[in-house]
Structure 1
């Protein structure tokens, strides 16, 4: 157990941990920090565990915006950041303008802005597995998987026909990607029929499993079954 002050900590009054990553003999902490002027920044603090010192303070973003972070826990080589930019069009309403993606190489501490050969729509789900960044989208009975290898820059594009209802968007579903498999279920299933769950090998496009998630007991009229997230353990 040890305690460290963050660099220039006197400037900040609030810190929120986004990711905590242990890689070899280093600890990396991605944190949102706010100053007394309400300016929000995203930093990655790299800590030498043996010496118990902060070795790098990497500024990721100094804009007042929220970034999502992604890392492969089994192979923490890269830390990916996703920023969705919005423009206020009227009071209490804003419109999506742009999605930006960048990553930090945890070994070299280099930060790279990604210029991907794909459209970065608001509803695309971001996932990092090994060295590959995936974007998943769903519409009109088709699942689109776009991949970009951060090391080799190899591109993957897959469109898979799905036995889904028409006129649905990614927001109607909860998805997870693990080991070249996509796991998918409805976020708001029909209570009378349960939640359909599908597992697909996205390289071979083979359907590996189709089933239903059902509650063990009847759900009363005042309750609703809703899925917000899905995690896969191999």
Structure 2
């Protein structure tokens, strides 16, 4: 998905304060965790949060090999590999499992959401903690009236402009990114389509419960979209 744009990802998302968010995550871990140091981050992206978890025995994965490569550079202390939220399989358990930056939306469907939370439960150590930052709900994702979203960045001698107009298909948000990538050698065009599932709080709660997890939603304990805090049921 990010094979042509991974190198621009952090610059495009330079507005994101990973350092503060990682601090808040570690605060939640201290408040709700079991004191263990084995940490797994799913859908880690470029490792923006991961690089700050230096006090943990951290592992992470992402579905996109280009993002995994970036995460390995940004967080050399962690073991990072290619994996899918719904079916990754490791012969170990973790004290903390994270899914941040609304990446849970990329599972797209309720079936894959359930498979993901079932998988998290299998990999969670006794007394362990799961933190999931949700994507937008069906009520929050608004496409009418249409709005154009634009990000422009300069990276070395490369100018990047990314634009999109959010679309919706049932309970899925469709984000079609259009890139203009300018260098002294010329201007290239690239497109990406991102499909994220829109899950209601009730659907999230039900999926946690079906997975055998006890979960609560904290709207103010993390960033604007809140965070789900879960343990073994």
Pair in the same fold by TM > 0.5: no
The structure with the greater share of residues assigned to helix is 2
Report the structure number with the largest CA radius of gyration.
1
The structure with the greater share of residues assigned to strand is 1
